Amino acid sequence: MGNVVVITGGSSGIGKSTARLFAGKGWTVYELSRTGKSENGVIHITADITKPEDVRNGFKMVFETENRLDLLINNAGMGISGAVEFTDPAQAHKIFDVNFFGTFLCCREALPYLRKTENSRIINLSSVAAPLSIPFQSFYSATKAAVNSFTLALCNEVRPFGIKVSAVMPGDVHTGFTAAREKNEDGSELYGGMIKRAVSSMEKDELSGMSPDYIASVIYRISQKSSPKVLYTAGGKYKLFVTLAKLLPTDLSNRIVGKLYS
């Protein structure tokens, strides 16, 4: 019997590349998203990961069909940008609902099934923006820092069941995520144009960033490791940035990040 993986947000970007790669490796692949269709060996299930019933029904459908679940990849996510003081609380709640609570809901529903399958795993998509919090991306950075903390705790909780948990922190990746970001430039005059400069700088890096196929290959390699680490950084220069942030005083590394996006 072949391995079974569920990927959230598998209809585009990193999720779509990852779904195609796993399908090409012979896995049975299910992708959960609000939009999408079954294609290239990937089976689509329509689900909004912020809705508990959608998530519950999706995983129930997979297990009733396959009688196993080997891997959950929590990839679905969204981005917003803008100054903290001008951010609508509803937008802040929304990004946490998708990026953090969506991950929680999927893990919560998947764990009873993962526990029944030997050597099962969870891989969460985080970001370099977790350890290197980006100005005017504060809520995105906060959701990914929360994903890292959640991953570290969950790893220890489910260790006795043999379930392995990791998070992947990509740097800049060239996907449709850039165009889909919900941007807010309120307060631009007050901040002397810093908001637009910071977001433009980041988006320039994204448009020249790594391919989603490369991140998919990183995720696949992690899925094959017998003893995976809890946190991985994807991309050579980003590994250097994250290492330097650990070595430098926090105030200094934070000022450097601020200068890069000022």
Catalytic annotation, residues: 11, 126, 140, 144
Q: How does DSSP classify residue 100? A: I
Which amino acid does the sequence have at 188? Answer: S
Instruction: Enter the tokens of residue 251.
Output: 């105030």
What is the β-pairing status of strands 42-46 and 28-33? parallel
Alpha helix locations (H) across the chain?
13-24, 52-66, 89-96, 102-114, 138-158, 177-180, 194-207, 212-224, 236-247, 250-260
Instruction: Enter the tokens of residue 152.
Output: 């570290």
| Contact between residue 36 and residue 58 where contact means Cβ atoms under 8 Å apart | no
**CA–CA dist 238, 207 (Å, integer):** 16
